[in-house]
Structure 1
Amino acid sequence: MLKPLLPKGRKPGRPPIWTRRQLIDGIRFRVRTGIPWRDVPEEYGPWGRVYDLFRRWQRDGTWQRIFTALQARADAKGLIIWDLNVDSTVCRAHQHAAGARKRGICRRSRPAGSPSSRTTTGSDARAVV
């Protein structure tokens, strides 16, 4: 099924100790659980070997080809609904719009009926007359 999408693994030399299936299962286990690479169980092979296969396939585009092929098959069977939903609740205001303390001159509003706290000086009194 996906075998044509996988890279050829035949190299001269010693045969592999860990099967490709075990390593792929180790990658799937790590991605599914979210554990660190070093915590991949030994039944899937050494964590360094599992990570090495993951990175090589990531660099050469194997994972993208697998994803595209699976997506095309699911779309052909009608298993994917391509509805689009835009939700504005994910929009957030900038931190300055959230009532953060402002720098500079801070003018606080006074209640309407309160007298002015400013005293009248001699120069102000002449200007009023």
Structure 2
Amino acid sequence: MSNPYNRHDVTDENWNKLEPIITELLGKWGGSNANDNRLFVNACLWIIRTGSPWRDLPTEYGKFNAVHRRYKRWCDKGIWDKILAKLMDEPDYEWIMIDASHCKVHPHAAGAVGGNQDMGRTKGG
């Protein structure tokens, strides 16, 4: 099956780091859909990276309502927090960082207002 959404998916290298953590947290079987953990994580990443509503989740990732229910279960159980905590404990967690040095500022963005900003008796300062 060719998946056109693979740019949002977890790479094999990153999955090799995530899979043992997920298996440890969920147990050997990990629930009824344990063999679909990677597909589920990819579905969540698709939602996060695109900013789309759950209803727009591509069918290749499964039924949106089932994926959303599972996402909520993981949130309620604190699974996502535990995954992040374990990744942060890794000596080399640079692979999960995002480099934002290339982000451009809006052309009309500005710093603080210049001039005298003395505090006075008025509400505005």
**Residue type of the alignment partner of 1:3:** I
**Residue type of the alignment partner of 1:97:** G
Q: 1:53 Cα deviation (Å)?
A: 1.0
The corresponding residue for 1:39 is: 56
TM-score when normalising by structure 2:
0.51
Greater RCO structure (CA 8 Å; 6+ sep): 2
For the pair shown, which has the larger CA radius of gyration, 1 or 2?
1
TM-score when normalising by structure 1:
0.50
**Residue type of the alignment partner of 2:75:** Q
Maintained 8 Å contact 1:23/1:50: yes
> Deviating runs (4+, > 4 A) in structure 1?
none
Equivalent residue in structure 2 for 1:24, among 41, 46, 52: 41
| Change beyond 3 A, Cα 1:78–1:19 | closer
CA distance in 2, matches of 1:27, 1:45: 11
Equivalent residue in structure 2 for 1:3, among 7, 11, 22: 22
The corresponding residue for 2:69 is: 52
CA distance in 1, matches of 2:89, 2:45: 21
More helix by share: 2
Q: Unpaired runs of 5+ in structure 2?
A: 1-19, 97-110, 113-122
Q: 1:78 Cα deviation (Å)?
A: 7.2
Question: What is the identity percentage for the equivalent residue pairs of Structure 1 and Structure 2?
Answer: 28
CA distance in 2, matches of 1:77, 1:25: 22
Equivalent residue in structure 1 for 2:78, among 61, 70, 76: 61
Maintained 8 Å contact 1:24/1:50: no
Q: Tell me the C-alpha RMSD between the 2 structures.
A: 2.9
- Provide, for residues 35-80 of structure 1, a one-character-per-residue CA deviation record: whole Å limited to 9, x for no partner: 001001000000001101110000001000000011111xx23749
| Change beyond 3 A, Cα 1:61–1:42 | same
The corresponding residue for 2:87 is: 70
- Provide, for residues 8-31 of structure 1, a one-character-per-residue CA deviation record: whole Å limited to 9, x for no partner: 4345xxxx5x82322221111101
